[in-house]
């Protein structure tokens, strides 16, 4: 076998293995989407599994949408996700700026404490958070759902690293022009770390949209239910009709799939030093 043939064989083998892994990763999603379009006459649990329906129908989606107020649930999830993203970006950027650009005693110690909170599981702090949310009157409110996600250690870390990469010349030029510290943060730093902000926004949006545990704890009013809670209720409402549960799940995950597919190209950071002449 020649060297060229050996290279082609390795390439084909690599793509085959990667394709098989990708299929195994996507199989549950494909099964979910296929099940949501199956008619009542089609068997769901077959071996080998049948991914694609023989008689596709939108009846499952119509039944779910007419039976449950999915429009309200969709609106609730959108409000919570958008507010969570906005507040998280604001507070994380404000916290990351002094940790990255200002010199003061205890800066590294404070940053270490922030990072240490990543190792604390949410299940440990959810009871104190719930007690605090109840005492603040945040139960059955949008702010109560957002409350634990106002800022995150991961977001502070991500934005701090991005801020540290901003050239010092941009900051010095802004100071010469008479910018205040807040002006430098808003007019220089925020535009320079836009890719990192967008990356964090995507992660926060996906996490907020798919969050189930905290809304389940802090909500008991169906008027404030988000989509994950609505999908969980479908199992009881339709006596485990997996076609309808799958249709509700597809409605729930479709927005974040579309968002990720549309914005994934913006996740790659750009050159923050492009505004500096050599």
Residue 188 lies in a domain: yes
Q: Does 22 share its domain with 148?
A: no
CATH of the domain at 96: 1.10.3720.10
Q: Does 28 share its domain with 107?
A: no
Whether the per-residue pLDDT at 95 is higher than 90: the answer is: yes
How remote is the C-alpha of 140 from its chain's centroid?
22
For residue 46, give every residue at least 6 positions away whose Cβ sits within 8 Å of its Cβ, in sequence order, or none.
none
Residue 64 lies in a domain: no
Q: Does 207 share its domain with 171?
A: yes
Distance CA(13)–CA(15), nearest Å, equals 6
Domain with 23 in it:
3-57
Residue 192 lies in a domain: yes
Q: Does 30 share its domain with 80?
A: no
Q: Does 231 share its domain with 191?
A: yes
Q: Does 165 share its domain with 213?
A: yes
Number of structural domains the chain divides into: 2
Q: Does 75 share its domain with 153?
A: yes
Residue 5, both tokens = 């043939």
Distance CA(12)–CA(125), nearest Å, equals 49
Q: For the chain, what is the largest distance between any 2 Cα atoms, rounded to a whole number of angstroms?
A: 74
Burial grade of 72 (CB within 10 A; 0-12, 13-18, 19 or more): middle
Q: Does 36 share its domain with 116?
A: no
Residue 274 lies in a domain: no
C-beta separation of 229 from 216 below 8 A: yes
Residue 21 lies in a domain: yes
Residue 272 lies in a domain: no
Q: Does 145 share its domain with 42?
A: no
Cα torsion for 200, 28, 230, 236, to the nearest 10°?
A: -160
Read off the pLDDT of residues 175-231 as tens digits, 9 standing for 90 and up.
888 888 889 999 999 999 998 998 899 899 989 999 999 999 999 898 999 999 888
Residue 63 lies in a domain: no
Q: Does 73 share its domain with 51?
A: no
The model carries a pTM of 0.83
Last residue of a domain, one of 30, 57, 84: 57
What is the per-residue pLDDT for 3? 67
Q: Does 245 share its domain with 176?
A: yes
- The most confident of the ranges 46-50, 149-153, 255-259 is 149-153
What is the per-residue pLDDT for 238? 54
Q: Does 53 share its domain with 78?
A: no
Residue 177 lies in a domain: yes
Read off the pLDDT of residues 119-165 as tens digits, 9 standing for 90 and up.
988 889 999 999 999 999 999 999 999 988 899 999 999 999 999 99
């Amino acid at each position: 076998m020649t060297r060229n043939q050996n290279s082609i064989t390795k390439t084909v083998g690599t793509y085959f293995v990667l394709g098989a892994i990708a299929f195994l990763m996507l199989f549950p999603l494909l099964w979910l989407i296929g099940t949501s379009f199956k008619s009542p006459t089609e068997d769901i649990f077959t071996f080998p599994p049948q991914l694609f329906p023989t008689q596709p129908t939108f009846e499952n989606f119509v039944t779910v949408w007419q039976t449950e107020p999915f429009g309200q649930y969709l609106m609730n999830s959108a409000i919570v996700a958008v507010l969570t993203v906005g507040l998280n970006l604001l507070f994380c950027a404000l916290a990351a700026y002094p940790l990255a650009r200002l010199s003061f005693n205890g800066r590294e110690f404070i940053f270490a404490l922030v990072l240490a909170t990543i190792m604390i599981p949410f299940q440990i702090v959810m009871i104190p958070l719930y007690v605090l949310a109840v005492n603040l009157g945040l139960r059955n409110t949008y702010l109560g759902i957002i409350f634990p996600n106002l800022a995150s250690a991961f977001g502070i870390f991500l934005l701090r690293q991005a801020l540290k990469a901003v050239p010092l010349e941009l900051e010095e030029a802004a100071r010469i022009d008479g910018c205040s510290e807040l002006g430098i943060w808003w007019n220089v730093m925020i535009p320079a770390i836009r890719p990192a902000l967008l990356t964090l926004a995507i992660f926060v949006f996906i996490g907020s949209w798919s969050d189930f545990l905290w809304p389940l704890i802090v909500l008991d009013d169906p008027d404030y239910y988000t989509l994950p809670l609505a999908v969980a209720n479908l199992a009881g409402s339709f006596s485990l009709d997996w076609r309808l549960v799958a249709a509700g799940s597809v409605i729930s995950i479709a927005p974040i799939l579309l968002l990720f597919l549309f914005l994934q190209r913006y996740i790659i950071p750009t050159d923050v030093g492009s505004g500096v002449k050599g």
